[in-house]
Chains A and B, each alone.
Chain A
Amino acid sequence: MISNTSREDTGDRPIPPTSVPKRRRERINRRVIPGFGLTMGFTLTYLTLLVLIPLSAVFIRTSGMGWDDFWKAISSPQVVSAYKVTFGVSFYAALTNAFFGFIVAWVLTRYQFPGRKLVDALVDLPFALPTAVAGIALTALYAPNGWLGQFLYPLGLETAYSTTGIFIALTFIGLPFVVRTLQPVIEVFDREVEEAGASLGASRLRVFFTIIVPALIPAMLTGFALAFARAIGEYGSVIFISGNQPMKTEIVPLVIVKFLENYNYPQATAVACVMLIASFVLLLIVNILQRWTESIGQARS
């Protein structure tokens, strides 16, 4: 016999007894799947010990410095020159990646050609290849007597031991971020929308710039931001090809390492603090961009 005590019973069925023995203790918000306490506890402990506390060391050390010392540390000419190199070259490298990365992603998702799978697999190389290996390999190619350098130097292109060298290294390591961010978005891009555009009489060029490009902009910006974020922190692949001339081709991570080597911990920490804040801001931007990409993807499907 089923009954409903939340409403008046309508049939000729008797209303069941509603008195319930009050005997149990209430549990608060039980979770059905076990292991919450264990996994949450472990995850939080691990993250706290290995990420939060160590990272906070930078900020706590810096906060003990006093504003004047801090400002002096982060604005010395050597450091400022390094900021310019790091942020400037990273920007151009990420921009180059955004452009060529888009072409690569487009070609790999939309066209069929022999060796496509191989090329697709190769895109991940900069991520899998240790940075030091990338560094010496790029130097071997672009040094004055290198494979490519021997042809480029006579043309006046100083590809190694210059900001151009840094640019080459940062382009190398940033490429997969743009390609891999764009690829899934191009893949799921609704071809019917393109077809609709084409059947309404728009030229291919018009469809491309008015329909496809706007839809891919969030993903492209995400890829750009990821490549940029990776580039500003990059160390291994750059130091071999950059020449490391003070005030000219020193990147910020190298400056930090040099301070450390000279036991100049306060300045190293102060500069690290600046870079950490820049990284966190970028992470935040990437998060926002990714949400934007997702929301467009959802609206589309």
Chain B
Amino acid sequence: MAAILSRVRHDTYPKTDNAITEPRLIRWLLILVAISFLGLFLFMPLVAVFVEAFKQGTKLYFATFEDKYAVDAILLTLKIAAISVPLNLVFGLAAAWVITKFSYRGKSLLVTVLDLPFAVSPVIAGLIFVLIFSTTHGWLAEPLKEYNIRIIFALPGIALATVFITLPFIARELVPVMQAQGKDEEFAALTLGAGGWRTFFTVTLPNVKWGLFYGVILCNARAMGEFGAVAVVSGNIKGRTSTLPLYIETLYNEYNGVAAFTLASILSLLALLTLVLKNFVDWRVAKSRNNQDLNLSLFTFPPFTRPLAALPHEHPCPQHP
């Protein structure tokens, strides 16, 4: 093989990548296939939401927001996000710190546990909290009844299920970023006499701010849009435990298509905003790294498409063979 390769004369290599691309016809055919597929499966549903929402005019569109239950649903969804995002933010920072800054046995097990919520069906994510907190069937039914605490079919249950579903998001985005940063800047700060908190806030945090921001918008989008897990724990009581996605389902099942799609259009705008912010962050990071390859950004969008456990195991000793 080496003998054959050595006969290849390098000066005969094509200057352009003509030799390693497909004929023009095939190229355009593939592009057409890709765009048609995406158009059919992604673009058209998105357009459908807005068209259906405005089908009977802007007046009826905005009338939806006069529905008291719709407003309640929006407020509840905001509340849930306001609870679950900060919790998972703190957790994400702690988990990323402990995963990237130290070496110890069992780290890959920790990372696997971190990924578990992703592997679990949303419906089961709801079910597990019902099994614990239900006042009729739950483990804690007796004490909950005694102190008259409602978790299932109430806000705490919805928050718990949402926290579970969105738990890995921020940590998942932070870990690769922190890993890529290395530990030298923290070491430098420590030799300069900075304590742990100062090192974290003045050195680590500014370095991972985009990864953190990115994790937060992802976590937020999912927290506001979660359906399955919330459907199981909320009981879907209009005006009380009906989140925005749940209320959309209610309206849809009541054949109130315009209202359903109107509310869906808000969530679609949120999704689009998330995508815009995601691309903005990619662009910012690429700019600061002088790297035009947006596809190779450190961030993973669906998270989990890149492994954490297999991240290069960084050894504390740089000279280790």
Q: Kindly list chain A residues whose C-beta atoms are within 8 Å of the C-beta of B225.
A: 129-133
Shortest Cβ distance from A107 into B: residue: B34
B163, CB-defined interface residue at 8 Å: yes
Shortest Cβ distance from A53 into B: residue: B132
Q: Kindly list chain B residues whose C-beta atoms are within 8 Å of the C-beta of A140.
A: 45, 48-49, 52, 257, 261
Shortest Cβ distance from A56 into B: residue: B128
Q: Shortest beta-carbon distance, A255 to chain B, in Å?
A: 9
Q: Known contacts A57-B131, A58-B124, A265-B131: does B42 contact A136 (CB below 8 Å)?
A: no
Contacting pair A136 B267 (CB below 8 A): no
Contacting pair B27 A111 (CB below 8 A): yes
Q: Kindly list chain B residues whose C-beta atoms are within 8 Å of the C-beta of A36.
A: 98, 101-102
Q: Shortest beta-carbon distance, B203 to chain A, in Å?
A: 11
Number of A-B residue pairs, CB cutoff 8 Å, is 332
Q: A235 to B126, alpha carbons, bound, how many Å?
A: 12
Q: Which residues of B contact A (CB under 8 A)?
A: 4-5, 8, 12-14, 17, 19-23, 27, 30-31, 33-35, 37-38, 40-46, 48-49, 52, 90-91, 94-95, 97-98, 101-102, 110, 112-124, 127-132, 134, 136-137, 139, 160, 163-164, 167, 183, 186-187, 190, 195-196, 199-200, 221, 224-228, 231-232, 245-246, 248-249, 252, 257, 260-261, 264, 267-268, 271-272, 274-276, 278-279, 293-296, 300-302, 304-307, 309-310
Partner of B42, one of A122, A148, A222: A122
Total interface residues on A, CB under 8 Å, equals 111
Q: Kindly list chain A residues whose C-beta atoms are within 8 Å of the C-beta of B195.
A: 34
Contacting pair B122 A253 (CB below 8 A): yes
Contacting pair B8 A200 (CB below 8 A): yes
Partner of A103, one of B34, B271, B275: B34
Restricting to A179-220, which residues have a CB under 8 Å from any CB of B? Answer: 180-181, 183-184, 187-188, 191, 194-196, 198-200, 204, 207
Q: A127 to B34, alpha carbons, bound, how many Å?
A: 18
Q: Which residues of A contact B (CB under 8 A)?
A: 31-36, 38-40, 42-44, 46-47, 50-55, 57-58, 61, 100, 103-104, 106-111, 113, 117, 119-134, 136-138, 140-141, 147-148, 168, 171-172, 175-177, 180-181, 183-184, 187-188, 191, 194-196, 198-200, 204, 207, 222-223, 226, 229, 232-236, 240, 252-254, 256-257, 260, 263, 265, 268-269, 272, 275-276, 279-280, 282-283, 286-287, 290-291, 293-294
Q: Shortest beta-carbon distance, A13 to chain B, in Å?
A: 28
Contacting pair B200 A35 (CB below 8 A): yes
Shortest Cβ distance from B252 into A: residue: A136
Shortest Cβ distance from A290 into B: residue: B307
Q: A293 to B305, alpha carbons, bound, how many Å?
A: 12
Contacting pair A130 B227 (CB below 8 A): yes
Q: Kindly list chain B residues whose C-beta atoms are within 8 Å of the C-beta of A226.
A: 302, 304-305
Q: A109 to B30, alpha carbons, bound, how many Å?
A: 12
Chain B CB within 10 Å — which of A134, A222, A256 has the most? A134
Q: Shortest beta-carbon distance, A113 to chain B, in Å?
A: 5
Shortest Cβ distance from A265 into B: residue: B137
Contacting pair A33 B102 (CB below 8 A): yes
Shortest Cβ distance from A183 into B: residue: B295
Partner of A128, one of B40, B121, B134, B221: B221
Shortest Cβ distance from B268 into A: residue: A133
Q: A226 to B305, alpha carbons, bound, how many Å?
A: 7
Q: Kindly list chain A residues whose C-beta atoms are within 8 Å of the C-beta of B137.
A: 263, 265
Known pairs A54-B129, A279-B120; list 5 more (Cβ under 8 Å): A44-B110, A53-B132, A128-B221, A223-B305, A235-B123
Partner of A33, one of B27, B37, B101, B307: B101
Shortest Cβ distance from B228 into A: residue: A235
Partner of B120, one of A138, A175, A198, A233: A233
Q: Shortest beta-carbon distance, A91 to chain B, in Å?
A: 16
Q: Known contacts A111-B31, A132-B227, A175-B41: does B307 contact A294 (CB below 8 Å)?
A: yes
Contacting pair B20 A55 (CB below 8 A): no
Q: Kindly list chain A residues whose C-beta atoms are within 8 Å of the C-beta of B131.
A: 54, 57-58, 61, 265, 269
Contacting pair A125 B42 (CB below 8 A): yes
Q: Which 4 A-B pairs have the closest CB atoms?
A: A130-B225, A233-B121, A34-B196, A290-B307
